[in-house]
A and B are shown apart, each in its own frame.
Chain A
Amino acid sequence: MTIVSLRNVQLRFGPVPVLTGVDLDVGPGERVGIAGPNGAGKSTLLSVIATLRPPSSGEARVFDAEVGTPQAYEVRRLIGWSGHDPALFDELSLRENLYHFARLAGLDIAEADKALHQVGLEAAADRRARVCSNGMRRRADLARLLMTRPRLLLLDEAHAGLDADATAIVEALSRRTVADGGAVVMVSHDRQTMGEHVDRVLTLREGTVVP
């Protein structure tokens, strides 16, 4: 079964065309990178794949559910997304953030503690997110993905601003996802760095994906 299947996906923001006909297939065990300059529509494409934004036209299917239909809501639990800015609540500690996400995902909070240990944040776990460095916040975001074990991992500029240890965590997370039969799609403006972490790199140019 193809995990992500896009056919002539087009998306407009008002009169502005952002995606002008994207075709993309991502199967189990694949790690695909999409490169492109700033403003090319990479994050927008990722939000379509995440089922968060239905295309204006064309067909987008994820885990065989059509994006924009109620079936897509059911597959969202299988998708993990890490964006530019970690999705942490500033007034909660890193641990409380992870507990919050664990409870909403129906997981035991022990999974959150385990994930914090895996990303090396046990010592800082009780600090409020707003006083943590961006690197620590990014690690906590990765801990969320380690904890929820998504089958489709979507990474937006995943390696930007990370040290070697955190980059290794991204790599481990990515490898574990494909080993579990899932897939990884990452987007970045840095084609070279991304190329070291994926099986194939495509380019998003003028709203469409080219090899």
Chain B
Amino acid sequence: MSFARQVAEFCRRDLLTERRAGEVLTIVTPFGAVALMSFPLAFGIDSALVSRVGPALFWVVVFLFTMQIALRHSAAERPHQRAVIALLGADPFARLLGRTAAAAVLILAFMAILFPAMLLFYSPDLPEGWPLALVPGALAGIGLAQVGTLAAEVTAGLRTRTTLAPLIVAPLAVPLLIAGSQALESLASDGGILPWTVLVVATDLALAVIGAAIARPLEEASL
């Protein structure tokens, strides 16, 4: 089986599992929406403040819930499942990429649902041409999927998984969060989104290179 088909197969399996389990759609997403809605309640009636911080809080919620999506219980592989897949000769990097692709689809769907919710709850003053900022935003979502999947692989089988994984993700996700949130700010101040797009693309590529380098050792360590 070609590398690309293996990637597609792992992605298909994880998405089919999610469609059946509904963990992201029925649990994580509503909880994320509630979290997004709770900030305006905490700020009170200062509508100017609520409007100004809305996009930034959107990214905070996306970052926090990305972990929930990447570490979702339904997608966790048990050790003997990993062993059988290794014995079938599957490429560890294809496995990592396929699982990242599935996580990216789910994270982008999560973002696509929460973004209109943010517009509704916060009524931010979006600058002209704001849809352009969706490009670095989506690329940041893909980067978060990469970071989250890598963290899930590093911590696979550990009892401290849910504690350790966010600690791994936090520093790696910083450039993605900055780029995702600052793209909109930059448009508002008549700046371009190109520097932020370059930053997020460079981060995505660096994460892909790291993934390619450590996929095999990570798999071997988890068997």
> Which residue numbers of A lie inside 8 Å of B, CB to CB?
47, 50, 52-53, 76-77, 79-81, 83-85, 87-89, 91-92, 96, 100-101, 103-106, 128, 144, 148
Known: A83-B83, A103-B1. A91 touches B20 (CB 8 A): yes
When A and B form their complex, which 3 residue pairs have the shortest distance between CB atoms, in order from nearest? Answer: A87-B84, A91-B20, A77-B89
A43: min CB distance to chain B, Å: 10
Which residues of chain A have C-beta atoms less than 8 A from B87's C-beta?
A: 50, 52, 76-77, 79-81
A76 contacts B16, C-beta separation under 8 Å: no
A79: min CB distance to chain B, Å: 5
Count contacts between A and B, CB distance < 8 Å. Answer: 67
Q: Which residue of B lies closest to A103 (CB)?
A: B9
Instruction: Decide if the interface of chain B is mainly helix, strand, loop or mixed.
Output: helix
The residue from A53, A88, A148 contacting B88, defined by CB atoms under 8 A apart: A148
Q: Which residue of B lies closest to A43 (CB)?
A: B80
- Cα of A85 to Cα of B78 in the assembled complex, Å: 10
- Cα of A80 to Cα of B88 in the assembled complex, Å: 8
- Cα of A43 to Cα of B81 in the assembled complex, Å: 15
B83 contacts A100, C-beta separation under 8 Å: no
A89 contacts B86, C-beta separation under 8 Å: no
B204: min CB distance to chain A, Å: 26
Which residues of chain B have C-beta atoms less than 8 A from A144's C-beta?
A: 84
B80 contacts A100, C-beta separation under 8 Å: no
- Cα of A195 to Cα of B117 in the assembled complex, Å: 65
- Cα of A76 to Cα of B13 in the assembled complex, Å: 22
Q: List 16 A-B contacts (CB under 8 A).
A: A50-B87, A53-B223, A77-B87, A80-B87, A81-B87, A85-B80, A87-B80, A89-B13, A89-B81, A96-B16, A100-B13, A103-B1, A103-B5, A105-B89, A106-B1, A144-B84
Which residues of chain B have C-beta atoms less than 8 A from A96's C-beta?
A: 16
Scan residues 85-135 of chain B and give those whose CB is less than 8 A from a CB of chain A. Answer: 85-90
Apart from A81-B83, A87-B80, A92-B17, 7 more pairs, CB < 8 Å:
A52-B83, A52-B87, A87-B83, A89-B17, A96-B16, A104-B88, A106-B89
